[in-house]
Amino acid sequence: MQHGPLLLDDCQTRFRLWAPDAHSVSLLLSGGATLPMPLQEDGWYSLDVEAGAGTAYHFLIDDQLQVPDPASRAQAGDIHGPSLVIDPQAYAWRHQQWKGRPWHETVLYELHVGACGGYAQIEKRLAALAELGVTAIELMPLAEFPGDRNWGYDGVLPYAPEASYGSPDDLKRLIDTAHGHGLMVFLDVVYNHFGPDGNYLTHYARHFFRHDQQTPWGDAIDFRRPEVRDFFIGNALMWLNEYRFDGLRLDAVHAIPDRGFLVELAERVHAETEPGRHVHLVLENEDNRVSLLERHFTAQWNDDGHNVLHSLLTGESQGYYADYREDSTRKLVRFLGEGFVYQGQQDRRGHARGEPSGYLSPTSFVLFLQNHDQIGNRAFGERLITLAEPDALRAATALLLLSPMIPLLFMGEEWGAREPFLFFTSHHGELADAVREGRRGEFAEFSEFADEATRARIPDPNAAETFEASRPNFTRVDSEWADLYRQLLEIRHREIVPRLQGTAFLGATALGEAAVLAHWRLGDGSRLRLELNLSLQQVALVPVPAKARLLHNSRKNNTDAGLLPPYTARIHLEDINE
């Protein structure tokens, strides 16, 4: 059976619940009726009822516990409130012929729907993003969470879009409008855990979890059970087929111990989506498990690339940056020449991590200088523009937007936003206290937060002002940064994107401390050359081939082809037809 309600016709719905540990399950309708649900095979309860779209309902477990549908398609209020039956066919799509875009054309723009004002407000910004050169927006998780403000990674009802952002049809309208502007829409999904508030599964389906494996969020989800696998795969298919998302970003799959589930999910997505559509599956995986990219997954976030660049730009070496600050030039060379830094090498804790990646296409890697994690995991949520030298950041931005890797921008980055992006929630009572203290405790090992008084200055995640401070001010545009992003994206789409299919790494070499020369062979046989210097010293260069065209120089007043000044990036294209 599929999870969640099935609207059979205009006035009849099949309600279903997998509750193998319940002695009885009843359906509670909004009108007050209590209807016992017959037990089917394998722990399923099912009942067909005269009820149409808009019907509000709960399940009653063992005549004692009232719960929402774990596969609710929408909620009337918050996570503890009644679930709603919706008609998945009610929305009239305007761009039904949209098939998506090939992956190599992707320029991702990650945003938080709540911080941007909800679906309707984002819809108003789509034309400007398309005109800038963005080709895909990526929404942070939408699964219903407690309260009306949350990062999104505390969701407990993964089938129900967060009600405070708008209705399911409002979300579809956003996606439809994006397609009309030529924009793909990706969704960040969390299949490795449920949030700490509102998850009732352990009361009637305790084997949804396994107690012998732990994650940072508690017991691991038990993907050995077909009902559990189907719950999440059905969710992925709903977003892709019913809402017509163009791709999914799978959060922290290193916390999913069952690799077989990931392979099955990818295989079913490609088998059960409309033929001819471009559908992309992107991983976040700290394990750098390259083999998954050979099994229907399109690409992986390149945290290695971010971390070594961030360490060089800021000098930071605490936390996981300690793995990148030492011998950083060699790691910069490996990242630019082969994709991942860690390909089986040991990290600072002595753990071997990663698999060889140099044989993959550079487009298998999503590169970023900032994202929700890398800003929001900081105590005060500072953006890179407040941490790095401007010239160094301009050079790194040129690398981001003109390398053959797939670039990702974080909302506001493209015009020099300086508002922080903090960790925010809207928990209450003891849970709010635990989240606040847990957040501050995360930084206890950092030298600048060694004393309790300093940690107390870290913003309270549950305070409304923490959320408000994290909202980008779209009226405060730094025209210099906006012009740079516009120029670089115009170059990318004109000179690089048409040549990206079939691109390969050609390696990189060190020119000096924090300075690298990297080459890639593009799909048409031409060569892309990057000269990058993130140090304070100028370095000597290997001569540029006579046929090479300069695409961009981050230091416009520098004309010496033999030397690369501090904080500079230059990109050349050696076209085979020249």
- What is the DSSP-derived secondary structure letter of residue 16? E
Q: Is 246 a catalytic residue?
A: no
- At 221, phi and psi to the nearest 5? -70, 140
Give the other-Cβ count within 10 Å of 458's Cβ. Answer: 21
* Edge-to-edge strands, sheet with 44-49: 6-9, 12-18, 44-49
Q: Is 251 a catalytic residue?
A: yes
State the distance between the two ends of the chain, measured CA to CA, in whole angstroms. 60
Phi-psi bin for 244: left (phi > 0), alpha (psi -120 to 50), beta? left
The amino acid that residue 18 corresponds to is W
Catalytic residue among 110, 251, 304, 495: 251
CA distances (Å), origin 526, targets 80, 398, 503, 572: 58, 19, 9, 11
- At 332, phi and psi to the nearest 5? -65, -40
- At 187, phi and psi to the nearest 5? -125, 135
Residues in the chain: 578
CA angle at residue 37 from 36 to 41, to 5 degrees? 150
Q: Are 161 and 144 in contact (CB under 8 A)?
A: yes
The 3 state secondary structure assigned to 37-54 is CCECHHHEEEEEECCCCC
β partners of residue 9: 12
Catalytic residue among 110, 123, 222, 284: 284
User: Catalytic site residues?
Assistant: 251, 284
